[in-house]
């Protein structure tokens, strides 16, 4: 379960991606990292093809300052 701080950053990032995007939050060495990808739906022969995974990290110093 995400902390309140993780949930806050997740809500900020979520609005910038398609509504069907999948977002996952992980703590990595004190940083908050959000991984985002989604099904593209652009190739009928590959209906489960996914976008490139995007990794967004808020560094530990930035989290501490916030």
pLDDT digits (tens, 9 = 90+) for 6-52: 999 999 999 999 999 999 999 998 899 999 999 998 888 998 999 99
Residue 47: per-residue pLDDT: 87
User: Between the CA atoms of 32, 54, 41 and 47, what dihedral angle is there, to the nearest 10 degrees?
Assistant: -90
Confidence of residue 66 (pLDDT cuts 50, 70, 90): confident
pLDDT higher than 80, residue 2: no
Where residue 15 falls (left for φ over 0; alpha for ψ -120 to 50; beta otherwise) is: alpha
User: Which helix (H) or strand (E) segment is 17 a member of?
Assistant: none
Question: How many structural domains are present in the chain?
Answer: 1
- pLDDT tops 50 at residue 59: yes
Residue numbers of the domain that contains 8: 4-65
């Amino acid at each position: 379960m995400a902390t309140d701080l993780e949930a806050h950053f997740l809500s900020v990032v979520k609005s910038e991606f398609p509504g069907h995007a999948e977002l996952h939050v992980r703590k990595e060495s004190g940083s908050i990292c959000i991984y985002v990808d989604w099904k593209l739906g652009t190739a009928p022969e590959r209906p489960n093809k996914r976008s490139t995974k995007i990794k967004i990290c808020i560094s530990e110093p930035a989290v501490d300052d916030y």
